[in-house]
Copies of this chain bind each other. A is one copy, B any other.
């Protein structure tokens, strides 16, 4: 172990595995043996599940990435998921219907390289957003859902996204429910924005429900999609105040702002590798 204080390139290490005593010691021992210096570290054990999660930022030069991974793998429980320096810019496909507010935000960030991801394409079951998308130089595919069985509709989407090798599908106000088969093909890789502070107002027309109920807050929820509709692991949520002067239309307008803001924050967390999934929950190392 060196006493010399070293700065060097920034690296990131993500690990999840079964928990046992000594994991942090094993992991950090390997890093220090390589002369790598930890600058920020988060660790969490889901005690109910017996699962261990860590996110480690460190500095220094990695002589041999493969060797480092192997050393870690040898010391960790079987089945450990180890990620060293994950892809800086994930590749994503954005699925939309007709609303533009979330898509607009994503495309502007993509244009200026502040999304921490690259939009490979936008797919819409309507074509309203085609012109808007294409003006950013991003391909738009119109895949109507009408007059065809759901499996065919989903096959058409798969045929577009599979050759692109996308890391995540982002449902940016995509109003179709995906089949278990489709969701299964993108396990943990579909992110949705839901227009309420779940679990309130599950189902259709949440803003009308909110108006009828006379709530004083509305909100939005970004979550991973699972086969239980509106029930996947929540990544981020936020609420904002409304009052008696808000009709349904004003709630929708205000809701769009919070939807956009919540999806944006969730994508930032995911694309910066700060989110782990454990059971039906997320661990978010902000």
A residues near B (Cβ < 8 Å) are 1-7, 19-26, 28-29, 31-32, 35-47, 50, 60, 77, 100-101, 104-105, 108, 111-112, 114, 132, 135-136, 197-201, 213-217, 219, 233-239, 243-245, 253, 257, 261, 264, 278-284, 286
Q: How many angstroms between the C-alpha atoms of A161 and B261 in the bound complex?
A: 32
Instruction: Check B199–A216 contact: CB distance below 8 A.
Output: no
A97 to chain B minimum Cβ distance, whole angstroms, is 14
Question: Which residues from chain B contact A286 at a C-beta distance below 8 Å?
Answer: 243
Give complex CA distance A20, B286 in Å.
24
Instruction: List the B side residues contacting A239 at CB < 8 Å.
Output: 197, 217, 219, 239
Known: A200-B197, A233-B214, A239-B217. A41 touches B24 (CB 8 A): yes
* Residues from chain B with Cβ under 8 Å of A1 in the complex: 20-22, 25-26
CB-based contact B234/A215 at 8 Å:
yes
Contact B42 A42 (CB under 8 A): yes
| Complex A-B: 28 CB contacts under 8 Å | A1-B20, A1-B25, A3-B21, A3-B77, A19-B37, A23-B38, A24-B28, A25-B25, A25-B29, A26-B32, A29-B29, A40-B43, A40-B44, A41-B41, A42-B43, A100-B108, A101-B114, A108-B108, A114-B253, A135-B136, A197-B239, A199-B200, A214-B234, A214-B282, A216-B236, A244-B278, A244-B283, A257-B261
The answer to whether B41 touches A32, judged by C-beta atoms less than 8 angstroms apart, is no
Specify which of A217, A219, A261 lies most central, judged by the most chain B CB atoms within 10 Å of its CB.
A217
State in angstroms the CA–CA spacing of A23 and B135 once bound together: 52
* Known A-B contacts A199-B215, A282-B244; A37 and B21 likewise in contact (beta carbons under 8 Å): yes
By a CB distance below 8 angstroms, the chain B residues around A283 are: 244
Q: What distance in Å separates the Cβ of A6 from its nearest Cβ neighbour in chain B? A: 6
Chain B residue at minimum C-beta to C-beta distance from A24: B28
Q: Contacts A45-B40, A283-B244, A284-B244 known; A31 to B25 CB distance under 8 Å?
A: yes
Report how far A177 CA is from B138 CA in the complex, Å. 37
Asked if B5 and A21 make an inter-chain contact with CB atoms under 8 angstroms apart, the answer reads yes
Establish whether residues A243 and B40, one from each chain, have CB atoms under 8 Å apart when the complex forms.
Answer: no
Residues in B neighbouring A216, C-beta threshold 8 A: 234-237, 284
Beta-carbon contact of A35 and B47 below 8 Å: no
A220 to chain B, nearest CB (A): 11
* Chain B nearest Cβ from A270, distance in angstroms: 14
Q: Given A42-B43, A46-B244, A217-B219, list of 11 further CB < 8 A pairs?
A: A24-B28, A39-B47, A40-B45, A41-B42, A100-B108, A101-B112, A197-B217, A198-B215, A199-B200, A199-B213, A214-B233
